[in-house]
Structure 1
Amino acid sequence: MAMSSANTSKAASTVVSLHSDVEDKRSSILVVGWDGPTDPANPRNWSRHRRWATTIVASLFAFMSPVASSMIAPSLPQLSADMGIQPGSLLQSMTLSIFVLAYAIGVLIWGPLSELLGRQLVLQVSNIFFLVFNIACGLAKTTPQVLAFRFLAGLGGAAPMAVAGGSVGDLWSPDERGLAMSIYSLAPLIGPATGPLVGGWVAQKAGDWRWVYWSTSIAAGILQLVAFLVLRETYPPIILGRKADRLRKETGDPHIRSVHDTGRRPAAVFFGGMVKPLLFLATEPIVQVFALYMAVLYGVLYLTLTTFVEVWRVRYGEADGLAGTHYLAVFLGSTVGGQAGSRVLDFLYRRMKARNGGVGTPEMRLPLLMVTATTLPIGLLIYGWTAEHRLFWLLPDIGVFIFSVGIGGNWLCIQTYLVDNYALLAASAIAAVSSFRAFAGFGFPLFADAMYSKLGDGWGNSILALVCLVIGCPAPFFFYRYGPKLRALSKHAVLEK
């Protein structure tokens, strides 16, 4: 074990071992890492029960915010009538989608903060922030108040999109990450589908759109209480930084540092963290292509969510509550795509890793994506043309189910691929993708009414299917072949796992 001087206390010698037992003799710095591969402080060595509890709570945070983002959709006519907003107007669409616009900014703030304060503290503080302004939405008296409070609630709700995925990566090794990642990846998908499904019945039974916000606030408050009891820090630089702080106090040696300590000031870390996702978008082809594809997926998802009820109201003459039940197609499809996909993903990864001499690579996450990418255009075409011709009500639902399977499977593969690719920098990569896709989630619903009124459901969804086909289908094949070369050229990507 490395020692800085004869005066270093015995306490330090029993705790300071490290990741590589590094000593910088020129400056007498002791570098602190894990106490071996079985160090219980390492989140990957926690009990499975504790790791799953943390994963589920982090995933519920990622579920709660998207629920709130879309739950008001069936109640927009009520809200618009109370606020004097013209039905079908751009302003009405903005009352829904401005929540998602806040994600684009929020992920660039919460992600860097997590590098300074830790993932779990950021998750809890941001949820409280979301909770306060979600309650304020229910108290709003004017349209500007609704827009402002919705934006601020979305700002708080953005944190799980940037931080929770990194927590999952902290807790699970690549060999076992697929199932855990599927739980987390599923949350932002079934959340937007669950919101209108529940919101339709809340609006119909309560008769007041404000109950949409009361109900989500109650659920978020309960989740916060659970989080106080369950969540612990998972981010290795924060855990080892606290360990180094403790050792400095115990030994009186100011030269003890974490293996992750770069010596940068907090302000530099924060602003660097805000810039890093933008840098990833500007310089990393892997992030650029998948950010674009995820933007299309997210845009299609929110576009569908905002227009789905109208299809059943106008074309099939169903009431709000019954029309809302068709969101089950999105819910079930995303669930099947994520959960079935996770098992296939882990199976393929283990098998391909064994064939590769026990060395895993991020590209081993892509064969499943090659299959699920094709389901989006197929499902969109079935949904669009069966709804256009008012065929039996189950047929549009089958189309939505099929493309939702694709969204769930694609989301899982891309998120896991990014975590494998960028390791400790995964939060920045996910923040880059999340920020970019949020603009699509905000923008797509704004032109939905104009597009469908001009083109109809058939041709409108055919255009979306073509976009998914052109962007999504070639990408996994390209990165499967050229991914290793791109990672070798990258300053941020890992070479193997």
Structure 2
Amino acid sequence: MARNDAVIDEEIGLESMHQRPDCSSRDRQNDDAKQEAGNHSISSSEIDLNHSSAFLVWFDTPAENPRKWSRSFRLYQVFLASAYTVLSPVSSTSNVPAIDVLQAEYNVHSALIANMMISAPMLGFLLAPSVYAPFSERFGRKYLLQVTNIANASQMIVLRFFSGVFGVAPVAIGPAFVSDLFEPEERGSAMAIYTISPILGPCLGPLYAGWIIEGFGKEKWPWIFYVSTMLGAFVAILGFFTLQETNTPVLVERKAARKRRETGDARWHTKFTTQNTLRQEVIQGIFRPCIFLATQPVVLVVCIFQGLMFGCQYLFLSSFSRLFRKEYDQSPGISGLHYFSMILAFVLSGIVGGKWVDWQYGRLKERNNGVGEPEHKLPLLISTGILMPAGLLLYGWTAQYHLHWVLPDLGMFIISWGIRFTLFICPLYLADAVSVYTASASSAGIMFRGAFAFTFPLFAPSMYDHLGHGWGNSILAMITFVVGITAPLLLIRYGRSLRERSSAAREGTRLML
């Protein structure tokens, strides 16, 4: 090739990696092999590179290619992945309305320890994603979702930490699942559907748990966890029969392995074939999210941004119900109804935001001579820096002066729009920016989200006790304003140049061309 590969990668745009047709024709396979022959790490003793085009495996029919399935079936797969994803957030916050009961049950007098009882599953978000990403990239998404869901259900009642460890798997690999199924220009709506689960789940847990405590009595608090377990069992059965594998490298590698077995010819291979052992691939994969954070600025900026916003969400989730119980003297069931302000905002912002991002991406792509770039999906993210501070100020000061409860709800409604935009646009951007390594990049983001979500609820009681809701939320408003405005603007302005320096972005694009 006459021009540098990295330059060509950036000029054609990341979405071009999804334009590859089903390679049923030998001519296209020949072209692919010529382009990729110098990049294969498989040895020439196994494959005659002069004739490797005849043995290069790709999808032969639309039925084999997840992106060629019917749109309704792909959306069903996203819905199913969302069902897996909702389980851990539901269980992680379901004990919020019962925290007073649990403190009395286990003789806990420290507010810090009580909040750790809420946020402990987030430690699993911090530790486990770096393990799940390489396994999903090596073995696929399907079985990892199913196995971790079964483990989550059995451990949920006993150890909330392990509930987080096993429950984070769908959260970590979900954006990669969406990336497997949809082209860049249609991912906005799909990602909006998927990401409703990790942020809606924390609202649903306290909602039903509050009515269990109020309707059946405090001694029935174990039913909070029984309900979560039954929900997990239902999703496990549904997924066992209908969930499909979507990971392109895994699917074509399985096809190549099948051809090698059937023909006895070791020359059948794919673009993803390497000489690495399973042990090497797993070790490399485990460290890849941390390597991304240390060496890929485009990943680090996005992870910090969404981590901060997710931490704010868990801070409110741990204190929202308590505010209405203690300051407004409402019962656990009634106080849980205020989570509807968040639920409504999450649903509406997902519908509006998903369609807006897809429309905006198409418009900016057309302006850019038909070349779409990941940064074309970021402009809506700037609204986070406006919505979050505005909602925080309204929520904080109306709660401070005990104004009518509808005003704090309105503040939380506005805050939730900002959180929602952040938590579906950031994974969407990473899916386009690093392509085949989406699971690893998403795992890096989940680790940050876990760290913030675990620590923020811990200092919430002390912050509100010393500063009150007004000034406490004003500090958060200032932080979210600065980060919420500057981070998207920096990515829009410099994201392309950061990706040009990113080996992960270049390699991910090359493999999927």
Instruction: Tell me, yes or no, whether TM beats 0.5.
Output: yes
- Pairing 1:122–2:152 present: no
User: Which runs of structure 2 are paired with 1:64-463 in the superposition (5 Å)?
Assistant: 64-86=87-109, 88-134=110-156, 136-137=157-158, 149-207=159-217, 208-463=220-475
Could you tell me which amino acid in structure 1 is paired with residue 196 of structure 2?
L
Contact 2:90 2:203 (C-alpha < 8 Å) held by counterparts: yes
For residue 19 of structure 1, report the CA deviation from its aligned partner: 8.3
For residues 266 and 324 of structure 1, do their structure 2 counterparts lie closer, same or farther at Cα, with a shift above 3 Å needed?
same
Once residues 266 and 116 of structure 1 are traced to their aligned partners in structure 2, the CA distance between those partners, rounded to angstroms, is 8
Could you tell me which amino acid in structure 1 is paired with residue 392 of structure 2?
L
- Pairing 1:33–2:57 present: yes
Contact 2:384 2:484 (C-alpha < 8 Å) held by counterparts: no
Could you tell me which amino acid in structure 2 is paired with residue 102 of structure 1?
G
For residue 52 of structure 1, report the CA deviation from its aligned partner: 1.2
Aligned length: 471
For residue 21 of structure 1, report the CA deviation from its aligned partner: 4.7
For residue 40 of structure 1, report the CA deviation from its aligned partner: 2.5
Contact 1:44 1:172 (C-alpha < 8 Å) held by counterparts: yes
Indicate the residue corresponding to 2:10 in structure 1.
none
For residue 298 of structure 1, report the CA deviation from its aligned partner: 1.1
Once residues 232 and 16 of structure 1 are traced to their aligned partners in structure 2, the CA distance between those partners, rounded to angstroms, is 30
For residue 17 of structure 1, report the CA deviation from its aligned partner: 7.7
Q: What's the secondary structure of 1:158's corresponding residue?
A: helix
Indicate the residue corresponding to 2:15 in structure 1.
none
For residue 427 of structure 1, report the CA deviation from its aligned partner: 0.9
Once residues 145 and 161 of structure 2 are traced to their aligned partners in structure 1, the CA distance between those partners, rounded to angstroms, is 18
Once residues 368 and 493 of structure 2 are traced to their aligned partners in structure 1, the CA distance between those partners, rounded to angstroms, is 15
Q: Deviations over 1:22-77 (max 9, x none)?
A: 276774164533246x6421100111222111110001111121011101111111
For residues 19 and 69 of structure 1, do their structure 2 counterparts lie closer, same or farther at Cα, with a shift above 3 Å needed?
farther
Q: What's the secondary structure of 1:493's corresponding residue?
A: helix
Once residues 434 and 423 of structure 1 are traced to their aligned partners in structure 2, the CA distance between those partners, rounded to angstroms, is 17
For residue 16 of structure 1, report the CA deviation from its aligned partner: 12
Once residues 394 and 35 of structure 1 are traced to their aligned partners in structure 2, the CA distance between those partners, rounded to angstroms, is 55
For residue 206 of structure 1, report the CA deviation from its aligned partner: 2.8
Contact 1:17 1:35 (C-alpha < 8 Å) held by counterparts: no
User: Which runs of structure 2 are paired with 1:27-66 in the superposition (5 Å)?
Assistant: 27-28=47-48, 30=52, 31-35=55-59, 39-66=62-89
Could you tell me which amino acid in structure 1 is paired with residue 58 of structure 2?
W
For residues 388 and 459 of structure 1, do their structure 2 counterparts lie closer, same or farther at Cα, with a shift above 3 Å needed?
same
Q: What's the secondary structure of 2:371's corresponding residue?
A: coil
Once residues 436 and 382 of structure 2 are traced to their aligned partners in structure 1, the CA distance between those partners, rounded to angstroms, is 26
Could you tell me which amino acid in structure 2 is paired with residue 158 of structure 1?
V
Q: What's the secondary structure of 2:98's corresponding residue?
A: helix
- Pairing 1:22–2:44 present: no
For residue 78 of structure 1, report the CA deviation from its aligned partner: 1.4
Once residues 59 and 342 of structure 1 are traced to their aligned partners in structure 2, the CA distance between those partners, rounded to angstroms, is 16
Q: Deviations over 1:273-292 (max 9, x none)?
A: 11110011111112212211
For residue 343 of structure 1, report the CA deviation from its aligned partner: 0.6
Contact 1:19 1:35 (C-alpha < 8 Å) held by counterparts: no
Contact 2:394 2:408 (C-alpha < 8 Å) held by counterparts: yes
- Pairing 1:478–2:500 present: no
Contact 1:178 1:346 (C-alpha < 8 Å) held by counterparts: yes
Contact 1:111 1:273 (C-alpha < 8 Å) held by counterparts: yes
Q: Deviations over 1:446-480 (max 9, x none)?
A: 11111100000000101111111111211111111
Q: What's the secondary structure of 1:373's corresponding residue?
A: helix
For residue 487 of structure 1, report the CA deviation from its aligned partner: 0.9
For residues 235 and 267 of structure 1, do their structure 2 counterparts lie closer, same or farther at Cα, with a shift above 3 Å needed?
same
Once residues 271 and 505 of structure 2 are traced to their aligned partners in structure 1, the CA distance between those partners, rounded to angstroms, is 19
Q: What's the secondary structure of 2:97's corresponding residue?
A: helix
Once residues 456 and 225 of structure 1 are traced to their aligned partners in structure 2, the CA distance between those partners, rounded to angstroms, is 47
Once residues 359 and 25 of structure 2 are traced to their aligned partners in structure 1, the CA distance between those partners, rounded to angstroms, is 40
Unaligned runs of 5+ in 2: 1-23, 38-43
Percentage of matched positions with identical amino acids: 37
Q: What's the secondary structure of 1:256's corresponding residue?
A: coil
Once residues 206 and 306 of structure 1 are traced to their aligned partners in structure 2, the CA distance between those partners, rounded to angstroms, is 22
Could you tell me which amino acid in structure 2 is paired with residue 117 of structure 1?
F
**Worse-superposed segment, 204-213 or 374-383:** 204-213
For residue 111 of structure 1, report the CA deviation from its aligned partner: 1.2
Contact 2:137 2:439 (C-alpha < 8 Å) held by counterparts: no
Q: What's the secondary structure of 2:490's corresponding residue?
A: helix
Could you tell me which amino acid in structure 1 is paired with residue 85 of structure 2?
A
Once residues 21 and 303 of structure 1 are traced to their aligned partners in structure 2, the CA distance between those partners, rounded to angstroms, is 50
